[in-house]
């Protein structure tokens, strides 16, 4: 099945406050889409609502004819993989056992991991550069190391869609680039990738399309050049930027708009 992930008219209210209103966009398989916007724009809420982790009072997220919130949990877990933002890890599992949790949707109760699962786990950990510390407890890892393990857990699922909430926030520059390269490669292999980002320059260089949230709604959606216009950046972020080209487009915030 090659149906896209479609978000139509999504509306979410939390604690009496409207967080999202009439949010619509489509995530095709084979593309990486950056979900951007200022703090408080509703990016994380959108991700959780799409996954069915937060209830929405309007709209729906669908894969083909299937409403994600009504899907069988096991099928949903195999279809959509989630990288949460700054997820705490409390259980003293090894990094490898933590990544192995990504294979749970493919197993029946009490079923042991098989050769296919072991291969998926190792491949995911090698992609994210964390195989070398597979035997360390995740509770002893640095924030950046833990973030790579959680990304590996997501890749191990082998889902049709990956939804990642700020997966590069705790990483050094090398691993930021590496993670985005991994997500781009996953998209190139046919996976649909939705990633929440704050680095606009990296979003411009690595995403096929962008969705810009502002004041609870989609302000702009399309190619990075179409979305990251001076007018949109001024309105949504209150900034001016410098741009240049060196084989690829670069964008760096320059000043705050008074």
In this prediction the pTM is 0.93
**118-134 pLDDT tens trace:** 999 999 999 999 999 99
Residue 218, strand partner residues: 213
The enclosing H or E element of 95 equals: helix 95-100
Buried b / exposed e over 48-82, threshold 16 CB at 10 Å, is bbbbbebebeebbbbbeebebbebeeeebbbbbbb
CATH code, domain carrying 190: 3.40.50.300
Q: What angle do CA 213, 218, 224 make, to 5 degrees?
A: 75
Q: What pLDDT is attached to residue 85?
A: 82
**154-212 pLDDT tens trace:** 999 999 999 999 999 878 898 899 999 999 999 999 999 999 999 999 999 999 999 99
**28-79 pLDDT tens trace:** 999 999 999 999 999 999 999 999 999 888 999 999 889 998 999 999 999 9
Count how many domains the chain has: 1
Residue 17, strand partner residues: 14
In terms of residue numbers, what domain contains 121?
A: 5-256
């Amino acid at each position: 099945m090659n149906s896209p992930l479609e978000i139509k008219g999504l509306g979410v209210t939390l604690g009496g406050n409207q967080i999202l209103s009439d949010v619509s966009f489509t995530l095709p398989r084979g593309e990486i889409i950056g979900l951007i916007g200022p703090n408080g724009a509703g990016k994380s809420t959108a991700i959780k609502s799409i996954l069915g982790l937060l209830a929405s009072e309007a709209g729906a997220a669908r894969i083909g004819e299937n409403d994600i919130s009504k899907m069988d949990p096991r099928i949903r877990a195999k279809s959509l993989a989630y990288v949460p933002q700054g997820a705490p890890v409390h259980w003293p599992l090894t990094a490898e056992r933590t990544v192995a949790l990504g294979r749970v949707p493919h197993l029946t109760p009490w079923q042991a991991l098989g050769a296919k699962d072991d291969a998926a786990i190792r491949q995911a950990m090698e992609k994210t550069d964390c195989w070398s510390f597979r035997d360390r407890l995740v509770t002893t890892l640095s924030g950046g190391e833990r973030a790579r393990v959680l990304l590996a857990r997501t890749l191990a699922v082998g889902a049709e869609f990956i939804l990642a909430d700020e997966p590069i926030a705790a990483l050094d520059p090398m691993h930021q680039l590496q993670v985005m390269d991994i997500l781009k490669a996953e998209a190139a292999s046919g996976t649909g990738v939705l990633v929440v980002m704050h680095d606009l320059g990296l979003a411009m260089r690595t995403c096929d399309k962008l969705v810009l949230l502002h004041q609870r709604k989609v302000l702009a959606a399309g190619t990075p050049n179409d979305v990251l216009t001076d007018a949109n950046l001024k309105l949504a972020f209150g900034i001016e930027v410098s741009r240049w080209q060196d084989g690829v487009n670069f964008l760096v915030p320059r000043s705050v708009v008074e």
